[in-house]
């Protein structure tokens, strides 16, 4: 059954608190959440009322749709073009040689062309919809080698999917601003062409002075344009890096409280605890949210400590088959499942936290308002296959139904056909 239009009823939806409710959706928004009655109301048979399509959730868990807070969207599926030397350098030796990986990965940029980038992005966005990811913060390389080809490739695909999902495009100077003279002008041009967020990668610069100048440029531009800022910070195994703190302080100076995101921040995991606490204090004051992606590198932000200290933390897919990670299928349940192991978050309270880091908390990190299953909010929802969160995480399957703005945009069924005599219960 496929709904068309933006009215939909979901019968017998299990919410996070375990209660079973009926959810009414009208004009793309959640209009009512009521205790589920065993004798279901049949709206379609009410006189004078148009038939409203319905999903029989039968007690399955229903959550907000997923938010991917950090993805290098222009780079998806480029690993075969680059070769594995960059991957080995980025992830090896405690990430002390991560910058070499980035340098090796740079070679592909000479061949950047929207003609092949857009189909790759389209493939990643189809996987997003299938897996219930309806909001993405997409980093797109803008530099003097690739020019604006990655940006155009992503903007073209974004237009194709505009009715289904939202993408915040980050103009990202992957090779630096001081190191790559000309990148700042290109980023400013990218913002005029449709990018939403000013990007940065200060730690890639050659000196602390240049790192500070990089952060200052990005925050000043974001303040001038009235946009957000998102940076890839401290992404190597060097605890002397402090660009996360530079970003937090610059946000305060430029009036960007609550409008900044720090991605990766892996070196923070190597800081002494008291330094981690100081950075968390600054992050709270500046409204700086963090995105961790522990599956794409051997180091990670101390997520559990930052959560305990009241910092908003999301998880990101980060990469899909590019120079930094060979897997990825845009499945945020899979990202949460991997993080559960890599960060040792296993209890039921941890599982709830993991779900939050790919739904509501991730939305808060990106400044997306009202992304929660509540009356009046946009009906961006996933109906999962199972009743219990532990099973939803265990299976990390594409949701049974994905609902975007009140419309069913993907359905996935799981079917196993048993061979003759191989099902002992059959």
Whole-number Å distance between alpha carbons of 111 and 120:
14
Distance CA 401, CA 132 (A): 8
Q: Across the chain, which distance is largest between two alpha carbons, in Å?
A: 73
In whole angstroms, the minimum distance from the beta carbon of 72 to Zn ion comes to 6
Piece of the chain touching Zn ion by CB under 5 A; list 312-320, 369-377, 389-397, 416-424: 312-320
Stretch that binds Zn ion, among 10-18, 250-258, 317-325, 371-379 (CB under 5 A): 317-325
By rule CB under 5 A, what count of residues binds Zn ion? Answer: 1
Comparing CB distances to Zn ion, the nearer of 9 and 318 is 318
Q: Does 321 bind Zn ion (CB under 5 A)?
A: no
Minimum distance from CB of 250 to Zn ion (Å)?
20
For Zn ion, the closer of residues 238 and 281 by Cβ is 238
Q: How far is the CB of 396 from Zn ion (least distance, A)?
A: 21
Closest separation in Å from C-beta 263 to Zn ion: 6
The least CB distance from residue 95 to Zn ion, in Å, is 13
Structure tokens at 12: 């017998």
Q: Is 68 helix (H, G, I), strand (E, B) or coil?
A: strand
Minimum distance, C-beta of residue 318 to Zn ion, in the bound complex (Å): 4
Site for Zn ion in 252-281 (CB under 5 A): none
Q: What residue number has its CB nearest to Zn ion?
A: 318
The residue range among 213-221, 315-323, 330-338, 349-357 that interacts with Zn ion, by the rule CB under 5 A, is: 315-323
Euclidean distance between CA atoms 142 and 190, whole angstroms: 8
- Between CA 186 and CA 172 the distance in angstroms is 10
The helix (run of H) or strand (run of E) holding residue 311 is: none
Q: How far is the CB of 70 from Zn ion (least distance, A)?
A: 6
User: Least distance from C-beta 182 to Zn ion, angstroms?
Assistant: 23
Query: Considering only residues 70-109, where is the footprint of Zn ion by CB under 5 A?
Result: none
* Residue matched to tokens 């960060």: 343
What is the DSSP secondary structure assignment for residue 140, as one 8-state letter?
Answer: E
Which residue, 12 or 70, has its beta carbon nearer to Zn ion?
Answer: 70
Q: Which residues contact 386 (CB under 8 A, 6 or more apart)?
A: 60, 61, 392, 395
Judged by CB, which is closer to Zn ion: 324, or 401? 324
Closest C-alpha to 290, from 267, 323, 322, 320: 267
Residue with tokens 């059954």: 1
- Which residue, 317 or 351, is less far from Zn ion as judged by CB? 317
Q: What is the Cα 377 distance to its own chain's centre? A: 20
User: Which of 318, 322, 334, 356 contacts Zn ion by CB under 5 A?
Assistant: 318
Structure token pair of residue 232? 């890839």
User: Using a CB cutoff of 8 Å and minimum separation of 24, what contacts does 13-17 make?
Assistant: 13/57, 13/60, 13/62, 13/383, 14/57, 14/59, 14/60, 14/61, 14/62, 14/387, 15/61, 15/62, 15/373, 16/61, 16/63, 16/352, 16/355, 16/389
Beta carbon nearer to Zn ion, 245 or 291: 291
Candidates 152-160, 311-319, 373-381, 392-400; binding stretch for Zn ion (CB under 5 A) = 311-319
**Piece of the chain touching Zn ion by CB under 5 A; list 26-34, 166-174, 314-322, 329-337:** 314-322
Region of 1-9, 38-46, 80-88, 313-321 interacting with Zn ion (CB under 5 A) = 313-321
Least distance (Å) between residue 293 CB and Zn ion: 6
Nearer to Zn ion, 291 or 393 (CB): 291
- Other CB atoms within a 10 A radius of the CB of residue 310 amount to 10
Residues that bind Zn ion (CB under 5 A): 318
């Amino acid at each position: 059954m496929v709904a068309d239009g933006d009215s939909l009823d979901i019968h017998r939806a299990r919410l996070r608190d375990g209660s079973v409710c009926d959810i009414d959706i009208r004009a793309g928004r959640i209009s009512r959440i009521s205790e589920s009655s065993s004798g279901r109301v049949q709206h379609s048979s009410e006189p004078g009322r148009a038939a409203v399509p319905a999903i029989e959730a039968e007690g399955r868990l229903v959550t907000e749709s997923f938010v991917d807070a950090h993805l290098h969207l222009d780079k998806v599926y480029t690993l075969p073009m680059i070769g594995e030397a960059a991957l080995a350098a980025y992830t090896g030796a405690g990430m002390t040689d991560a910058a070499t990986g980035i340098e090796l990965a740079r070679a592909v940029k000479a061949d950047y062309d929207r003609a092949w980038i857009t189909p790759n992005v389209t493939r990643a966005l189809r996987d997003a919809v299938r897996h219930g990811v309806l909001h993405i913060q997409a980093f797109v390389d803008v530099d003097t080698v690739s020019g604006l080809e990655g940006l155009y490739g992503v903007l073209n695909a974004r237009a194709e999917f505009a009715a289904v999902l939202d993408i915040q495009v980050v103009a990202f100077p992957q090779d630096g601003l001081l190191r790559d003279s000309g990148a700042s002008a290109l980023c400013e041009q990218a913002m005029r062409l449709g990018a939403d967020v000013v990007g940065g990668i200060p730690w890639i610069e050659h000196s602390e002075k240049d790192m500070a100048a990089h952060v200052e440029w990005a925050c000043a531009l974001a303040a001038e344009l009235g946009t957000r800022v998102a940076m890839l910070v401290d992404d190597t195994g060097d605890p002397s890096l402090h660009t996360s703190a530079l970003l937090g302080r610059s946000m305060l100076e430029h009036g960007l409280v609550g409008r900044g995101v720090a991605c990766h921040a892996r070196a923070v995991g190597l800081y002494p605890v008291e330094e981690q606490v100081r950075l968390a204090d600054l992050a709270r004051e500046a409204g700086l949210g963090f995105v961790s992606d522990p599956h794409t590198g051997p180091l990670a932000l101390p997520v559990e400590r930052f959560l305990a200290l009241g910092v908003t933390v999301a998880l990101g897919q980060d990469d899909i088959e590019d120079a930094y990670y060979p897997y990825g299928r845009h499945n945020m349940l899979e990202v949460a499942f991997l993080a559960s192991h890599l960060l040792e978050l296993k209890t039921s309270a941890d599982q709830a936290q993991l779900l939050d880091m790919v739904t509501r908390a991730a939305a808060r990190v990106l400044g997306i308002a009202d992304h929660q299953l509540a009356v009046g909010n946009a009906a961006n929802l996933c109906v999962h296959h199972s009743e219990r969160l532990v099973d939803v995480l265990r299976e990390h399957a594409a949701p049974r139904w994905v609902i975007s703005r009140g419309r069913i945009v993907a359905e996935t069924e799981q079917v196993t056909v048993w061979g003759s005599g191989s099902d002992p219960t059959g």
